[in-house]
Structure 1
Amino acid sequence: MKRTKEKCPYHCEIEAAFAVIGGKRKARIISHIGDGKPRFNQLRDILENVSPRMLAKQLRELEEDGLVIRKMHREIPPRVEYELTKTGRAFIPILDNISDWVIEYCPDAAQKIE
């Protein structure tokens, strides 16, 4: 989503935000990375029903948008961890607010999640 102001295709800030975090699982990925420095397989186990290809794509997009850092450790076997950037960490309170909103205003959806 890194674009210059002159070429920005969005009509408002909300539209731009959803372009970055609007992937089906991006908010959950950010939330789980915020809990620590998970490895790819740990994220795959947490995010059930997501193919490795789709998870890798979503992680790449989050990295390109500056929300996630991919750290590769030069070990055998290679170890890759993900962590949030400052921008990604700033999104955590927003996710918490959305969660609170769902619990308060969408009780049916909150019950399905439990």
Structure 2
Amino acid sequence: MQEDQSDGTVFVQTTLKVLGGKWKLLILWHLKDNDRRYSELKRLIPEITEKMLVQQLRELESDGLVNRTVFSEVPPKVEYSFTEYGRSLEPVLQTLCNWGERHLKRLELI
């Protein structure tokens, strides 16, 4: 570890590499309580493009945070859920949600 990154910077950079971007935290937020089908996630996050949703889900799966389960049905059914490792982010997601609520109250937007 570089001397100038001994204060935790490298850990924050690592976290941002995994969770960074506009959509990943929102996707994880929607998965925290329920397994979701792709179409549910698309409906819950209407601003995201299909290409971006697929990309973000693949990255979350690759990083070991999300499971992708394919059911052999017609039509095919695919569900996304947290892995056990992904569940370790639940307190972080709740803390971010709480902070956002306090921030909006501070700005008197809610």
TM-score of the pair, normalised by structure 1: 0.81
Q: What is the match of residue 21 of structure 1?
A: 19
Structure 1 runs of 4+ aligned residues shifted over 2 Å read: 102-111
Structure 2: gaps of 5 or more residues: 2-8
- Contact kept, 8 Å, 1:73 with 1:79, in 2: the verdict is yes
1:25 deviates by 0.8
Cα separation, partners in 2 of 1:85 and 1:63, compared to 1, 3 Å? same
Residue pairs, 1:43-82, within 5 angstroms: 43-82=41-80
**Aligned equivalents of 1:92, 1:29: Cα separation in 2:** 12
Q: Deviations over 1:5-49 (max 9, x none)?
A: 9xxxxx511110011011211001011111211100000000011
Q: Which moved more, 1:11-20 or 1:50-59?
A: 11-20
**Aligned equivalents of 1:86, 1:30: Cα separation in 2:** 13
Instruction: Give me the identity figure in percent.
Output: 34
TM-score of the pair, normalised by structure 2: 0.84
The alignment covers a number of residue pairs equal to 104
1:88 deviates by 1.1
